[in-house]
Structure formats: C-alpha cells, structure tokens
Structure 1
Amino acid sequence: MHELPDTVAVDVVLLPPGPIMDLAIGANRTLLAGNPGGGIRLDNEGCLPHISVAMFPAKREDLPAITANVDRVARRCSPMALTIDAVAKHRVNTGETVSVFHILRPEIIQLFHKTIMNAVKPYQAPPAGPEMFAGEASAASVDCLLRFPKTSAYERYSPHITLGFGDLPELIPGIDFPIRFEATKAAVCRLGNHCTCRRILAEFDLGAGVLAGHGRTVRR
C-alpha cells in the first residue's frame, strides 16, 4: 500500500462506465498528438477520466470517516442518467486552454454534489502544499484544489470530464453528441498534478445498499 502524507489532496468523484472512459482517453490522445507535452495523459489505471464531485485537502487520519460518509451518501443515491452534450474549453490561470466533455447538470447530480460537499465539509483540512498530491504538483494544481469550494461548488458546480490541455475540435470523428450514459460508481481518489485522479482509495456502487465495511478499499 502506498504511504500517504499527513495531509492528502482528495477528490470524491463519479467514475464513468468503460465506453465513456475509452471516449475520454481517445479524445485525450487527440489532444496529445497536437501537444505532446500537454501534461495530462489519461488511462485506465493511474490517471482516470472522472467527474469531480468534491475536491479538498484532508488529514490522513480522517480518511476512514470521509470514506464512511461518502459510502452512506452513495448507498442512498440511485445510478445517474447523465448526458455529455458538447466539448467545452476554458483558460486556466497559466493561460493554457483545457478541453472537457461538458455534462448537463440534472437535479440528481446537483443533489449528490451538494450532499457530498456538506458531508465532507467538517474534514476539510488546512492546505499543506504540493506534498498533498501524488507525485510532483504545480502551484496551479494546489490553487485549483483550494479554490474548488468557492469557484466550482454548489450553484457554481459544473460537472465535466477533463480531457487535457489543448483546443479539441468541437466536432470529433466517431463521436456524436449528445452522449447518454449511466454513472453507477463513485470513488474517493488521491489527486495528482493538474488535479488528475491518480489513485482510488475507496470505491462504491451507487444505490447498492449497505456494503461490507465502509466501501471497498482499493490498494493501488
């Protein structure tokens, strides 16, 4: 098991199903072809496509309580019917363009986000710098983590799957929008550089009822 620092950069996420993971990884490869140094290389193991729900620094000793709270919320939430309606782009503080799959925000995901944010709020720890992250992390990554509650939460919450750095065409061969899918899994992840999901700490099935223990802890 990987050793965790005293303070960990945490992301509670929804994990897309396999076909959506593959679409995101394929779009990421298109971006990397035009920008080989893009910094985000998605895959199915160490840099997972995901939909962030709540991002925050947490004390290592609070992770079991955080996992239990996320488990409790996930068990009470039905699988979510979601829709990717477009490629969206925005500029980050470094001036670079980031492309994402924009996801419509139905009431169920907004409620899940709000409930998770409220459940983990007591465990949000003071920041501890780049060492919170898995591997090296830029100052921009730390800033993104710390700004999440103010810039990306509650009424500002905008679900999406980050695809990488670069200007992805809005029309992609082989991809027809809208893309509808069902999200059935949530996870607590450790963040890496650019707020990528580098490691699953615990994983849950939405609406699965009481699981053995509090979620399935995953050692990777």
Structure 2
Amino acid sequence: MTIALDIALLLPPTAQQIAQQLNEQLDQLENGGFLFDHSHHPHITLGQHFVSEDQICEISSCLEQILPNHQPLKLHVTGAHTGGTAQVLTVEPQEPLQHLHEALMDAMTTFEVQTGSPESFQTDGAPPRLADISWVTNFRNRSSYTRYLPHITIGIGTQPLTIAPFRFTARELAICRLGRFCTCRKQLACWTL
C-alpha cells in the first residue's frame, strides 16, 4: 500500500504551546479544519512523499545514517501570514535547516512513488482533499530545494493571526503519516538531533 509521509521537525513544548493557542483561536470546526491534539502534531515539514508502506523500516534506516551529520536547529519565527486556506507561522530560512531539508530530499528520491490516493492518508472522518494529494505529489517540484519555505501551519481559516517573533531550538525529527490538510498524524518513527 502507498502511504503519504511527512518528514518533519516537531516543536519543543514551549513552541507547541504557542502553536496550540493560536490554533484554538481559529474557527477550525466551522472551516472543516483541525485542532492540534495527540494525533495532530504542530511541525515544520522537511519533505512530503508518497512511499510504499513496506519500506518504512528501510526509510528509517536511511535517515538514521543522515541525522548524525546534523545538529539541533536554532529557529526563528518571524511572524504569521495566510497561505491559501491556511494560517501559517513563517520560519526564517537558514543554512543548517536548508542543508537538512536537502539531505532528506536527496535520500528520499529512491523511495518515492509518483502519486498516491485518498487511502494513502490517515483518516478518521473527512477524507483528504484533492489538494492534499496534489500537494504531496508535487512537493518535490514545487516546494523543495530552492523553493523550500519553512513554516508551521497553524490551522484553516481566514482570520489573520498576529504573533510576536520568537525563537526555539528544534531537536526532534519524525516520520509521520499525513492526514487531511497535510497534517502530521500518526508518528511512525522519531529521532533526536
């Protein structure tokens, strides 16, 4: 079976709390959105891919070889903006983050399959949108390498968010199965940088 994966930096507790508070300000249920909880993890995407489920162990082993070359990342959230239907926090691009993103994208080339289906996503209610399938299918060509824009998706809604800039250190990287709105759902593997 093909599944949709997110390789992501998970937020430390203080940054998680900020993301959760902002998420709760949006009319998520009215907009068909999501609330952060034990199965919706605030994160910074490093790569999104369709892969064969039976290759998860092999993918994990491959990533374990890359991660020792990377340190915890000191990141800076510079503000908030609307990205289509989503409200997002902008993460300042920086060289160590870009290098990690590129190393992971390079490693995932051999594991990717061209496209997935609604069944590739974790669901517990509404199925993934066609836009979710398209986003993952086109991530490599439209959102990676020189087009990579690190951010934290807070939720779905039109209400603009305001946030004072803040800094945090990201130490945890995970492979998560994607859900509706390309949310990080079921955590399949996790490492500390």
TM tier relative to shorter chain: over 0.9
Report the Cα offset of residue 168 of structure 1. Answer: 4.0
Q: Could you tell me which residue of structure 2 aligns to residue 71 of structure 1?
A: 64
Aligned length: 190
Q: Is the 8 A contact 2:3 2:53 kept in 1?
A: yes
Q: Is the 8 A contact 1:88 1:99 kept in 2?
A: yes
Query: Is residue 107 of structure 1 aligned with residue 95 of structure 2?
Result: yes
Q: Pick from 125, 138, 148: which aligns with 2:129?
A: 138
Report the Cα offset of residue 53 of structure 1. Answer: 0.3
Q: Structure 1 segments of 4 or more deviating over 6 A?
A: none
CA distance in 2, matches of 1:41, 1:19: 20
User: Which runs of no fewer than 5 residues in structure 1 stay unpaired?
Assistant: 1-5, 92-96, 207-220
Q: Is the 8 A contact 1:99 1:166 kept in 2?
A: yes
Q: Could you tell me which residue of structure 1 aligns to residue 49 of structure 2?
A: 56
TM-score in terms of structure 1 length: 0.82
Query: Is residue 152 of structure 1 aligned with residue 143 of structure 2?
Result: yes
Q: Could you tell me which residue of structure 2 aligns to residue 14 of structure 1?
A: 9
Q: Could you tell me which residue of structure 2 aligns to residue 3 of structure 1?
A: none
TM-score in terms of structure 2 length: 0.93
From the superposition, tell whether residues 118 and 90 of structure 1 become closer, same or farther in structure 2 (CA, over 3 Å): same
- Structure 1 residue identity aligned to 2:73: M
| Equivalent residues in 2 for 1:19-98, closer than 5 Å | 19-32=14-27, 36-91=29-84, 97-98=85-86
From the superposition, tell whether residues 192 and 170 of structure 1 become closer, same or farther in structure 2 (CA, over 3 Å): closer
Report the Cα offset of residue 170 of structure 1. Answer: 4.5
Q: Is the 8 A contact 2:81 2:160 kept in 1?
A: no
Q: Pick from 170, 183, 188: which aligns with 2:175?
A: 188
Q: Could you tell me which residue of structure 2 aligns to residue 197 of structure 1?
A: 184
CA distance in 1, matches of 2:116, 2:168: 37
